[in-house]
Amino acid sequence: MIAIIDYDAGNIKSVEKALQKLGQDVVITREKEQILAADKVILPGVGAFGDAMKNLNEYGLVEVIHQVVEKRIPFLGICLGLQLLFEKSDESEGVKGLGILKGEVCRIPDQEGFKIPHMGWNSLHLQNDGRLFRGIEEDAYVYFVHSYYLKAKEEQIVKATTEYGAHIHASVGMDNVFACQFHPEKSSDVGLRILKNFVELS
């Protein structure tokens, strides 16, 4: 069973649908016992970093997410869910992220020819043998919607990058924690393969 954490940050139904397409049992929940009993846990999300952290704190989910990581349950952050795993974001000064991984989230710089938010398909450069990307070809295209991007502190956790007005760390993985800045659930067959790779992690 896969638990999708519900903390009022949107984008849950499309993730649920993609997982059901892969034949998975899915529960959308903020119940601690359900989350900790799951085989896999997903933190999706769109919206503002500060609002999201406020909701996670109010629902008592910060501690639960840390417990998931400690129990070594495979965990996937998507879009805002990736950003929240890190220490801080330019979007919400003074708000602490979950701090599970080291790094910061920066605003995509204003540049001629680059619209912000970045919305659309970009190709991935794969590196460091990411387990989510088994069977995925170099330069595969995935779908992004974001105005802020990750700069991870440790290069070895970065599994995929892309370029859009900045060098963007598009996916990370460390131990049982995985995350994508792009939306695998909206990234056609490539995205489904990435989700399938996550589902099949032992």
Which residues are the active-site residues?
79, 183, 185
Other beta carbons within 10 angstroms of residue 123's beta carbon come to 14
Question: Could you tell me which residues come within 8 angstroms of residue 196 by beta carbon, excluding any fewer than 6 positions away?
Answer: 22
* CA trace torsion 176, 192, 125, 171 (10° rounding): -30
Report angle CA 23, 16, 177 to the nearest 5 degrees: 90
Cα distance between residue 152 and residue 63, in whole Å: 22
Cα distance between residue 40 and residue 46, in whole Å: 20
